Structure 1
């Protein structure tokens, strides 16, 4: 019985004499290779198209420029009017900017718009009042970072609010400029900048069209910036921070992040506590944050913390005949032995070590420190109390008791060597510590 021939589902073409002449199907790799080649060619054509268009356009313009008929038909272009004055912002806005938040300048004052002479660059003024308006601009305006533009170009750069939304910029957007200045007391964005192509806005200001008849006044605009959603303000860092701020307001410490949790476990919850520990126990603070905080991050965090203003409060810590005074972040302000101020820059190594121990003891008892009257500290105002690097020389008379005893330091003894010198004429005093005698100049 003849064997049956199996087919692949295709009937043989009767025009073909035999199977050997059937056309073979291309392999999968061949199909992929041809597809990739076609894609590369399409990309090449896409890249070449703008170049070819520009070349053709330039050649056509060059050819037409040589034609007499074309030259005759060219319209006369009006001369470009150079502005005599320009508007300007006295200070840039403070960043970051959040939706719904008041926009201020970088020194926390209201934005101020001024009129500037284009030739001299100095503030100027016009005899009549000017009506000006503030508008939102695309962050990419103007193209090529030009410093001048036409009025219609500026108009095209204004951003319109999204459909169904409120005006993008609200507040005192219309003002009257008198004597060459106008103050913007209230201004805020109602929408973030994530939906525009460049992801940034600018604030522009111009003379209201049709309200002024005179030489052109160039518009002003700020640098491009991101407008964030107001929900992000809950995690905003403060510049500078204040003592009562949560510690996560510092750079590189995220709210409820790993560093925040580590600090909270050691009761470092505020910027003040962070600064106190940074002053007294910097190595221990560094160890708490761990290896996850790099040296660069540590530098950024500590520099941000040190920008905090400690304030005028001064705290006293007593230890028998010695009293030290520290500020709110435990910077040493003043030292007294036997009720007499000792110049900080004249403390020798042994005395400095002892004072440092007192500062450490004061830190351990920081919650029970007594606040001193900074104004009554021997007549010194808080901001005039000598610090370690600029302490003034103050005479130090001998104490009534020849032996100074310090609490919790029974092995430290400061007997007066020359007790026969009358107190009013005393100039130098010698003290003994662990058998070593050192002088306390008067």
Structure 2
């Protein structure tokens, strides 16, 4: 028989528990409690986003499974989404180009500096799908191998299996190739991948290039039709540590010369140019137009090959719009006998126009005849030897260059009526300085034949210009 518990023993035990020391209230305990509460709060915040994603995916999966079990008569006919040829007439597209070179750990943007945009298109009407379930569908982005068959890309016709086979996976032991927000919801047929970046470069794949791909996330709409995936053009991904040596396309005038192709930062070309005070692209072009043989000799070595030299010069001259619209331009005048001949140069000392009447009328070089061009070339050599005599002018002055031809008394095609108003002609000659012009009177009776053509005895001297 189990003995009964003594009431006094129970009372004594309770009294001992009441008399046990309680937790002391100290500042350390207070800090510990606050930190514990803060950590719990942060954990709940992180768990919330994870749980939301899990719940959303489970709900979508349940809806898809539910509609998948419905009778075929209650689901939309596939042919309502396909063209008569059997090809899919709904397709995702990247409407804007990806830059030819991207860098790891940098947010991906288009060539215009905008977030990556994705659109749902109707292939038949060539319009964006702005209504219906497919206009608000969820899409995901991934990396693709650029080794697609050209015929498939041109026709825009590839199978779902072909697309899946070209999805590029990360290297073993590496992070996923893409990080960030890899899914987006379309709104009126348009969506954006705002914060996406590469974690690895493309140097390890066979063709050293990637493409971007995008496809819809399966749901009830995709159960009844296939939406063709989007594929971008190929591009190179480089390590972000090489971004500091990135070439600019097109280069700016204020860029350092190593931003040009074939010129490496702190390389031999860069050091040789810097030693002569040629720091920027503008300095390089000014040296090129004033004395390109000396510039090429300065680079020496590798620049002696035509391909290397042409590549550098072509890249430097890429931004012709900036050159033609730069605020700083120059004019050079030279007294030739009693006439004042002028040449106009842009900001990099390239000759773009001339005047044979003291600057009252300017003509672009494209509209000068052969004789006028010979005069300009001789005078231009003199101008480049006296750059300190260049006078700056604003852009408005250059934009007023007339697109017409000047009357030239040496032009045998000039008519008698044009020459009646010409009182003098510019006669070329030569001296020890290399340039000599004389302003002589022109008589329509003594310098014209019966056919009305101007006659000048020393045509050989003119041809030597």
TM-score range for the pair, normalised by the shorter chain length? 0.5 to 0.7
TM-aligned CA distance change 1:224 to 1:417, over 3 Å:
closer
C-alpha distance in 1, partners of 2:443/2:207? 80
C-alpha distance in 1, partners of 2:349/2:276? 18
CA displacement 1:333-387 (0-9 Å, x = unmatched): 22223233254444554x545533543454455477433133245xx44xxx35x
User: 1:355 maps to what in 2?
Assistant: 376
Is the CA contact 2:99–2:235 (under 8 Å) kept in the aligned structure 1? no
Is the CA contact 1:414–1:432 (under 8 Å) kept in the aligned structure 2? no
User: 2:342 maps to what in 1?
Assistant: 323
Alpha-carbon deviation of 1:145?
9.0
Unaligned runs of 5+ in 1: 1-78, 422-427
Choose from 119, 122, 129 the match for 1:125: 129
Which secondary structure state, in structure 2, belongs to the residue aligned with residue 298 of structure 1?
A: helix
Choose from 146, 150, 154 the match for 2:160: 150
User: 1:302 maps to what in 2?
Assistant: 313
TM-aligned CA distance change 1:84 to 1:358, over 3 Å:
same
C-alpha distance in 2, partners of 1:282/1:85? 56
CA displacement 1:266-301 (0-9 Å, x = unmatched): 333222222233333232222222242322222222
Is the CA contact 2:332–2:389 (under 8 Å) kept in the aligned structure 1? no
C-alpha distance in 1, partners of 2:269/2:110? 32
TM-aligned CA distance change 1:433 to 1:197, over 3 Å:
closer
Is the CA contact 2:247–2:260 (under 8 Å) kept in the aligned structure 1? yes
CA displacement 1:152-174 (0-9 Å, x = unmatched): 97399364698795883336x44
Is the CA contact 2:98–2:235 (under 8 Å) kept in the aligned structure 1? no
TM-aligned CA distance change 1:334 to 1:225, over 3 Å:
closer
Alpha-carbon deviation of 1:229?
1.0
C-alpha distance in 1, partners of 2:162/2:437? 85
User: 2:325 maps to what in 1?
Assistant: 312
Which secondary structure state, in structure 1, belongs to the residue aligned with residue 353 of structure 2?
A: strand
C-alpha distance in 1, partners of 2:289/2:277? 16
Is the CA contact 1:94–1:103 (under 8 Å) kept in the aligned structure 2? no
TM-aligned CA distance change 1:154 to 1:84, over 3 Å:
same
Superposed CA RMSD: 4.7
Choose from 289, 292, 300 the match for 1:282: 292
TM-aligned CA distance change 1:248 to 1:357, over 3 Å:
farther
CA displacement 1:217-253 (0-9 Å, x = unmatched): 1222224543211111111111111222211222111
C-alpha distance in 2, partners of 1:202/1:272? 35
Alpha-carbon deviation of 1:417?
0.5
CA displacement 1:59-116 (0-9 Å, x = unmatched): xxxxxxxxxxxxxxxxxxxx9x964412121233111111133433356555432223
Number of positions where the alignment pairs a residue of Structure 1 with one of Structure 2: 341
Which secondary structure state, in structure 1, belongs to the residue aligned with residue 127 of structure 2?
A: coil
C-alpha distance in 2, partners of 1:432/1:336? 25
1:230 and 2:235 correspond: no
TM-score, normalization by structure 2: 0.58
Choose from 163, 182, 186 the match for 1:177: 186
CA displacement 1:297-351 (0-9 Å, x = unmatched): 22222222221221313322233423211112333222223233254444554x5
C-alpha distance in 2, partners of 1:85/1:157? 21
Equivalences for 1:253-402 in 2 at 5 Å? 253-293=263-303, 294-309=305-320, 310-313=323-326, 314-320=329-335, 321-337=340-356, 338-341=358-361, 343=363, 344=365, 345-346=367-368, 348-349=370-371, 352-364=373-385, 366=387, 369-376=390-397, 380-381=399-400, 385=401, 391-394=403-406
Alpha-carbon deviation of 1:178?
3.6
C-alpha distance in 2, partners of 1:195/1:99? 14
Which is helix-richer, 1 or 2? 2
TM-score, normalization by structure 1: 0.61
TM-aligned CA distance change 1:107 to 1:395, over 3 Å:
farther
